[in-house]
Structure 1
Amino acid sequence: MASESSNSKPVILVVAGVIEKQGKYLLTQRHEHASQGGLWEFPGGKVEAGETDQQALERELREELAIESATGQFLADSVFDYGDKVVHLKGYLTHWVSGELVLHSHQDATWVECDEIKAFTLCPADYPIVEVLESLPRE
């Protein structure tokens, strides 16, 4: 779902799943040849026309990671200008329902504690989501 911003760069709406499992969170690493190559991110992807954020996130996680998920609480959004495009990223707490992780769109994945996330070099748009995640009460 791209729209034009006032400076005529495309604005791309993207959803990201902050997947929690046994107290750890999933980070995925972008392929080196991709935009933001080598950086880590919360997995997800573009919202297509006619999709809700929830539908898009669950579809993207199925396509990219071969897992079934349930979208939970909205965490945060950020708007980041990457130069050639503007990404509006919306992060949601996401629950792993079923499936075994298969990396279709990433070169690596790791499970980390919340306080370990900032040790990874994330895509810039993901940092506001991390800040909100860090502020949530821990069980």
Structure 2
Amino acid sequence: MTEHKPHLVVVAGVIEKDGCYFIAQRLENASQGGLWEFPGGKVELGETPMQALERELSEELSIVTKTGIWLADSVCDYGDKVVELKGYLSQWQQGEIQLNSHQQMAWVALAQLDNYRFCAADYPIITALHDHIALVNTAKL
């Protein structure tokens, strides 16, 4: 008999500003508490991933964003649930960041992301971000 775990589709926004990327630390009492992530949340019924990301970033950070290109998907089994994470570049449009669902935030250079402990599902997005930036830089040559 196979165990059926909840399968959640979740979106994450990689927000860039002045060459740094926004990351947020999950609340200690939350699932994956204390780990860092690119903010986002669950895709609700009837939403596209892009609509969900813009809604979630508004709810979690009180900012308006525009979803850009897709970076990567990852699937992680956290034991009690399976999370399918879709990572997108996101452009900050307006608003001042307020942490409504996180305990800390940081703006981090690409090379410094390795200094933080992320949720497992975020690591493929970091790899894709490195690949994307390398591709953009190569195209500029």
Q: Same fold (TM over 0.5)?
A: yes
Query: Equivalent pairs: percent with the same residue?
Result: 59
Counterpart of 2:21, as a letter, is Y
Unaligned runs of 5+ in 1: 1-5
Say whether residues 1:36 and 2:56 are aligned partners: no
Give how far 1:33 is off: 0.3
Amino acid of the residue matched to residue 113 of structure 1?
A
TM-score, with normalisation over the residues of structure 1?
0.94
The structure with the largest helix share of the pair is: 2
Q: String of CA shifts for 1:5-40, please: whole Å, max 9, x gaps.
A: x74111100000000111100000000000000000
- Deviating beyond 4 angstroms after TM superposition, the runs of 4 or more aligned structure 1 residues are none
Q: Give the TM-score taking structure 2 as reference length.
A: 0.92
Letter in structure 2 aligned against 1:81: D
Aligned-residue RMSD, C-alpha? 1.0
Give the C-alpha shift of residue 105 in structure 1: 0.2
Cα distance between partner residues in 1 of 2:51 and 2:89: 14
SS of structure 1 residue aligned to 2:100: coil
Answering whether residue 53 of structure 2 is matched by residue 57 of structure 1, we say: yes
CA distance in structure 2 between the aligned counterparts of 1:16 and 1:75, rounded to whole angstroms: 10
Q: Distance in 2 between matches of 1:28 and 1:127?
A: 14
Higher Cα radius of gyration: 2
Any idea what SS the aligned residue of 1:108 has?
strand
